[in-house]
C-alpha cells in the first residue's frame, strides 16, 4: 500500500473507531462486535507503525499506549471552578428560590435539575478542534494538568466539530467497574478503594496512564463555559449542544417550572439512587435562563444561581461480630467494629469506626448487638448506636484493650483525655503509619511510596525511620526485585525522595507527625523561628505566644524535642541533605503582614483562598470570625453580618482597593 492509500485508509479507520467508541462509551449501544473492533484497531496500529508520520493527536491509538509522568504540572483555570452551596431539605430549596426571585425581580423561575455525580471534577479545553488541556479542579483556581490521562477516557472526544470550547464535568467509575477493581486489589492483597469516587480520583492521578484505560473511567459533561457567547440561552440548551458535539451528558436531567417540581425530582431520584449504574450524592439545581446569571451573581466561593441538594446520610442496620483496636501514627488507639456485610451508599461495608473506648462505653455497645451504621460524609462508615429492642441475651459486654494490638506494650491515657495511646517508639504500626504520613502529599510529598511498599521495606529492615528513606539507594537491586516493582517504579520513587530534600521547613515539621501540629500550625511555627535548630531549642513561652498556636501545641512541640531519639533523627536528616530552613515567599514583602490578622468576607475579584494564601505567604494570619484580635476585615460585595460585628468591635474594614494599597505600600 503506497503512502496516499495508507493515508486514506488511516483516516477511514480513525473515523470508524471514533464512531464505535461514541456508540459504546457514550450511547451505550455498540454496533460492532468486540472482535471486529479489535481487528480494526490492530490494522490502524499497523499502518501507523509503518507510517509514523500519519499518527495524529486525535488518533484512537493514542488512548491505548501507556505513558509515565514524573509529576503533574499545575494548571491555572481561566475561569475559577467554583463549588456549590448546599441544601439539605425542602425549606433550604424554598429559601434558594425566594432569593433568586428577589435578585431577579421575577415571580416565576425555571430550573434545570441534574444528578450530582459522585466523582472528580475536570475541565477540558479544546483549541482548533483538538483537546489541548484536561485539568482537575484542584482548589478551584489552580488544578493539575492530567491531559495524558484524560486522553485514555474513551467517552471524552479528542476532536470536536467546534473550533474552541471549555467544558466541565465529572469523571466517575461505574459501580460494576468499582467492584471489579476492588476484587482484583483484594486478590493482590492491595488496600481496597473506599468508594467509586475515591477510586476515580486515585485512577485519574496515576502516573502510569495505561492504568486509566484498563479501569474504564467515564465522564459526564455538564457545564458549557461562556455558553452565551455562542448564542446558547439556557442550561438545558447547553446540555443538548454538548450532546450534539458527542460529549456524554447525563440524560436524566429535567426542566422544572418551579421549586415544587424540583422537589418532586429530588424525591424521585433519592428513591432511584440505588438503581443507577453510577453513584450520586445529590441533585444540582440551576437557574435555566443563562441571561440571569450575572444579575444573580456570585459569592467568593459559589455561584448564587445554582445549589446542590445533598441526600441525607444513608443509615443501615447490621450486627457487630467483633470489636477490635487499631493503632495510628501518633500511637492513638481507635476502636472498630467488624460487621456482618452490609451495603451503604453503594459500597459493601464490613467494618466501621467506634472512635474510642469512651464512645463504646457511653453508648453501651456490645458484641452481638444490632447497630445503626452510617457513612460520615458518605465516606467513613461509623456506628452511631445500637437497637435496645433487638439486643440478644448473648450480647457480650466489651472490655477496652489494655495493651497495644501490635507491639503489646501497655497503653496509657493522659488525665482529662478520652483517647488511649501506645507510647512505644518502636511499635511497628506506629512507625509505618508515621512513614505514610511523612510521605503524604501535604507533608514531604514523596510519590511512589505506598502503604504496601512501606510495609514491605519495613519488614525487610530497609526502612525503619524517616532518614532511612534517603538511604534506600543502597538497596537498589533488592527493591527492583520486589514483586510488582521494577526499575521505572524504583527510579520514580528515588527521584521523588530526592526532590523532597528541598522542601521548605514547614513540610518537614508537619511530616514529623508531632501531636497537635497540623499544616497551618507547622507553617506558623516555621515562619516564626525560620530554622529547625531554633524550633528544637524553643521554649514553651516562645511557642505559646504565637497566634493560633497556644499552650497545648507548645507543650507537644517541647515534649517532642525532649526525646533524644527525635533530636538524633532530625540531625541525621540534616546530614542527609534535607533542608532545615523556612523558605519564605519569593515576594520581597514576605513579612509585610506579620502580626496582622485578617477576616475575609463578601464577593471579591478572586476566590477567598487567593487572598488567604497571599496574606499567609506574607506572614499574616486569617480567621473565619471577627474578634478583638482582628486587624482588618477585607470586605467585598454582600459582606454579611461580619461587617456589623467589626463595626461594634471598632475593627477596621477595608475594600479590595485598600488591600492592594497595603500590598504596594
Residues contributing to the annotated binding site for NAD(+): 34-38, 83-84, 114, 137, 170, 286, 310
Strands 370-376 and 315-327: antiparallel
Catalytic residue among 14, 116, 246, 374: 116
Place of cell 450524592: 281
Calculate the CA 519 to chain-centre distance: 16
Identify the bridge partners of residue 425 per DSSP, sorted by sequence position. Answer: none
* Cα radius of gyration rounded to whole Å, the chain: 28
Say whether 347 sits in a helix, a strand or coil: strand
Known binding residues are 34-38, 83-84, 114, 137, 170, 286, 310, 404, 407, 422, 427
116 flagged as catalytic = yes
Known binding residues for Zn(2+) are 404, 407, 422, 427
CA distance 545 to 527: 14
Q: What is the dihedral of CA 529, 532, 538, 540, to 10 degrees?
A: 90
Sign of CA dihedral 654, 659, 660, 661: positive
Q: For residue 260, what is its C-alpha cell?
A: 415544587
Q: For residue 382, what is its C-alpha cell?
A: 461509623
Place of cell 471489579: 180
Q: Which residues contact 456 (CB under 8 A, 6 or more apart)?
A: 482
- 8 A C-beta contact, residue 287 and residue 100: yes
CA distance 501 to 576: 9
Query: How close are the terminal C-alpha atoms of the chain, in Å?
Result: 71
Q: For residue 531, what is its C-alpha cell?
A: 530554622
- DSSP annotation of 410 reads B
The length of the chain is 665
Instruction: Give the Å distances, CA to CA, from 434 to 419, 457, 458, 466, 517.
Output: 18, 14, 12, 8, 14
- 8 A C-beta contact, residue 173 and residue 116: no
Q: Beta strands of 69-187 (E only): which ranges? A: 74-76, 85-87, 111-117, 120-127, 130-136, 142-144, 165-172
Name the residues annotated as catalytic.
116
Amino acid at each position: 500500500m503506497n503512502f496516499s492509500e495508507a493515508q486514506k485508509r488511516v483516516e477511514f479507520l480513525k473515523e470508524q473507531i471514533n464512531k464505535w467508541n461514541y456508540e459504546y462509551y457514550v450511547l451505550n449501544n455498540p454496533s460492532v462486535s468486540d472482535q471486529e473492533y479489535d481487528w480494526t484497531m490492530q490494522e490502524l496500529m499497523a499502518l501507523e507503525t509503518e507510517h509514523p508520520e500519519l499518527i495524529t493527536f486525535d488518533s484512537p491509538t493514542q488512548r491505548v499506549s501507556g505513558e509515565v509522568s514524573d509529576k503533574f504540572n499545575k494548571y491555572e483555570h481561566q475561569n475559577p471552578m467554583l463549588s456549590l452551596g448546599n441544601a439539605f431539605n425542602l425549606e433550604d430549596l424554598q429559601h434558594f428560590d425566594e432569593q433568586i426571585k428577589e435578585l431577579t425581580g421575577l415571580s416565576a423561575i425555571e430550573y434545570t435539575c441534574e444528578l450530582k455525580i459522585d466523582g472528580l471534577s475536570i475541565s477540558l479545553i479544546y483549541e482548533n478542534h483538538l483537546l489541548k488541556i484536561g485539568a482537575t479542579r484542584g482548589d478551584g483556581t489552580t488544578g493539575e494538568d492530567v491531559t495524558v490521562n484524560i486522553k485514555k477516557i474513551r467517552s471524552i472526544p479528542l476532536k470536536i466539530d467546534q473550533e474552541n470550547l471549555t467544558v466541565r464535568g465529572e469523571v466517575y467509575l461505574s459501580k460494576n467497574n468499582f467492584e471489579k477493581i476492588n476484587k482484583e486489589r483484594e486478590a493482590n492483597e492491595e488496600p481496597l478503594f473506599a468508594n467509586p469516587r475515591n477510586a476515580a480520583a486515585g485512577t485519574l492521578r496515576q502516573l502510569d496512564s495505561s492504568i486509566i484505560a484498563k479501569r474504564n473511567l467515564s465522564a459526564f459533561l455538564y457545564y458549557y463555559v461562556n455558553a452565551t457567547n455562542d448564542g446558547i440561552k439556557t442550561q438545558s440548551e447547553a446540555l443538548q449542544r454538548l450532546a450534539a458535539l458527542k460529549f456524554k451528558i447525563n440524560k436524566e436531567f429535567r426542566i422544572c417550572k418551579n421549586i415544587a417540581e424540583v422537589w418532586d425530582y429530588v424525591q424521585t431520584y433519592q428513591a432511584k439512587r440505588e438503581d443507577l449504574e453510577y453513584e450520586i450524592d445529590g441533585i444540582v439545581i440551576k437557574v435555566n435562563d443563562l441571561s440571569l446569571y450575572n444579575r444573580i451573581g456570585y459569592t467568593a466561593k459559589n455561584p448564587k444561581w445554582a445549589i446542590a441538594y445533598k441526600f441525607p446520610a444513608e443509615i443501615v442496620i447490621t450486627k457487630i461480630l467483633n470489636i477490635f483496636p487499631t493503632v495510628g501514627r501518633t500511637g492513638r488507639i481507635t476502636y472498630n467494629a467488624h460487621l456482618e456485610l452490609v451495603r451503604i451508599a453503594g459500597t459493601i461495608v464490613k467494618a466501621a469506626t467506634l472512635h474510642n473506648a469512651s464512645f463504646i462505653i457511653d453508648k453501651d455497645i456490645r458484641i452481638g448487638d444490632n447497630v445503626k451504621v452510617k457513612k460520615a460524609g458518605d465516606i467513613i462508615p461509623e456506628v452511631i448506636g445500637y437497637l435496645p429492642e433487638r439486643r440478644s441475651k448473648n450480647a457480650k459486654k466489651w472490655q477496652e484493650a489494655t495493651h497495644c494490638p501490635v507491639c503489646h506494650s501497655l497503653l496509657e491515657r493522659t488525665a482529662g483525655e478520652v483517647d488511649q495511646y501506645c507510647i512505644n517508639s518502636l511499635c511497628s504500626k506506629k512507625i509505618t503509619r508515621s512513614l505514610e504520613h511523612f510521605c503524604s502529599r501535604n507533608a514531604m510529598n514523596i510519590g511512589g511510596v505506598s502503604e504496601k511498599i512501606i510495609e514491605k521495606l519495613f519488614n525487610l529492615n530497609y526502612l525503619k525511620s524517616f532518614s532511612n528513606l534517603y538511604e534506600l539507594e543502597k538497596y537498589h537491586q533488592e527493591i527492583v526485585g520486589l514483586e510488582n516493582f521494577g526499575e521505572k517504579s524504583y527510579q520514580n520513587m528515588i527521584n521523588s525522595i530526592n526532590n523532597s530534600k528541598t522542601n521548605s521547613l514547614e513540610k518537614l515539621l508537619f511530616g514529623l507527625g508531632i501531636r497537635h501540629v497540623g499544616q497551618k500550625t507547622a507553617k506558623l511555627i516555621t515562619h516564626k523561628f525560620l530554622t529547625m535548630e531554633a524550633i528544637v531549642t524553643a521554649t514553651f513561652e516562645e511557642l505559646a505566644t504565637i497566634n493560633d498556636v497556644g499552650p497545648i501545641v507548645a507543650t507537644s512541640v517541647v515534649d517532642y524535642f525532649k526525646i533524644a531519639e527525635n533530636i538524633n533523627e532530625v540531625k541525621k536528616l540534616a546530614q542527609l541533605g534535607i533542608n532545615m530552613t523556612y523558605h519564605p515567599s519569593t515576594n520581597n514583602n514576605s513579612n509585610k503582614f506579620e502580626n496582622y490578622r485578617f477576616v475575609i468576607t463578601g464577593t471579591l475579584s478572586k476566590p477567598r483562598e487567593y487572598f488567604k494564601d497571599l496574606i499567609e505567604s506574607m506572614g499574616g494570619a486569617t480567621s473565619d470570625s471577627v474578634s478583638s484580635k482582628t486587624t482588618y476585615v477585607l470586605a467585598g460585595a454582600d459582606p454579611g453580618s461580619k461587617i456589623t460585628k467589626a463595626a461594634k468591635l471598632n475593627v477596621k474594614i477595608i475594600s479590595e482597593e485598600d488591600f492592594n494599597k497595603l500590598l504596594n505600600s
